[in-house]
């Protein structure tokens, strides 16, 4: 690492653009994992390089379960990102997390079942730690940025990642509350897992749009209500991104996540699959350099 920040912003529902971006240019980044959700918007804010990727594609054309997470993370790695800030709309599982509030995620419960979860597999087996799945440093910057943008934020939340695309049943929503989950969404997994395998520190800002469906004295959430709140949240999120960039230290000091793959690959060198090694050229660039 050269001490410079290059921040990848993964925009979810409600965040489709970045304010204050200079020298902005959409560029296609090819990956061996297929096409990313969209081209990546390269640019900078002051002296900080930015790479913006709309998770669902421009126009919100990709369903949550079909988001090409491996291609997205690989593309951001190839684009030179040192750190990732993800922004997603979420439902609330707690009374105090009202629509319009923001949540900085600390933990995940993953209930997704149909999505490729790893860059690794037979022929190149690796196990990274996910005990602490987000970057503490980035998360602190993110919480401060939301406050600077004028919104209320709750830190240390647990995100339930569901498969979707349907919303929860009331029974599921109540079960997730009993599990200790605070917010619910459809896109942060396997995104956060893949970011860790790619040695990219990751933080997630959740923008609360609704109360899911656990409040039995209320009608279940409807999409038009969510969209209205998403628009309001998106305006705040754009200001938060600018505040996040402005607050970064001038020099990026190393993160433990920068070396998450140290000791993680178990397959003997002589038994490693050349094709899988080639697909992971960007992910393994530090180790192979």
Which residues are identified as catalytic? 210, 212
Nearest to 67 by CA among 44, 88, 81: 88
Q: What is the DSSP letter of 256?
A: G
Extended strands (E) in 153-240? 153-161, 183-185, 202-210
H/E stretch holding 74: helix 69-78
Buried/exposed code over 174-207 (b: 16+ C-beta within 10 A; e: otherwise) = bebbeeebbbbbbbbbbbbbbbbbbbbbbbbbbb
Q: How far apart are CA 278 and CA 265, in angstroms?
A: 15
The C-alpha angle 97, 99, 103, rounded to 5 degrees, equals 50
């Amino acid at each position: 690492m050269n001490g410079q920040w290059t921040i990848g912003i993964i925009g979810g529902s409600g965040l489709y653009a970045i304010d204050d971006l200079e020298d902005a240019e959409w560029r296609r980044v090819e990956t061996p994992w297929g096409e990313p959700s969209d081209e990546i918007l390269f640019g900078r804010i002051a002296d900080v390089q930015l790479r913006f990727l709309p998770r669902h594609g421009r126009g919100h054309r990709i369903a949550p379960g079909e988001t090409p997470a491996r291609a997205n993370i690989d593309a951001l790695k190839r684009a030179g990102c040192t750190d990732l800030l993800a922004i997603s709309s979420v439902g609330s599982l707690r009374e105090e997390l009202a629509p319009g509030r923001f949540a900085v995620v600390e933990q995940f419960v993953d209930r997704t079942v149909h999505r490729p979860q790893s860059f690794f597999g037979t022929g190149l087996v690796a196990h990274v730690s996910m005990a602490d799945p987000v970057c503490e440093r980035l998360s602190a910057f993110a919480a401060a940025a939301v406050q600077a943008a004028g919104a209320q934020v709750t830190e240390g939340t647990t995100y339930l990642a569901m498969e979707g695309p349907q919303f929860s049943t009331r029974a599921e929503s109540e079960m997730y509350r009993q599990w200790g989950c605070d917010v619910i969404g459809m896109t942060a997994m396997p995104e956060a897992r893949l970011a860790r395998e790619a040695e990219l520190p990751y933080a997630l800002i959740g923008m609360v749009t609704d109360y899911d469906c656990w409040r039995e004295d209320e009608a279940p959430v409807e999409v038009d209500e969510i969209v209205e709140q998403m628009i309001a949240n998106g305006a705040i999120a754009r200001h938060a991104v600018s505040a996040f960039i402005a607050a970064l230290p001038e020099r990026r000091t190393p993160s433990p996540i920068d070396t998450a793959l140290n000791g993680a690959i178990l397959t003997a060198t002589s038994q490693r699959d050349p094709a899988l090694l080639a697909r992971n050229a960007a992910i393994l660039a530090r180790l192979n350099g």
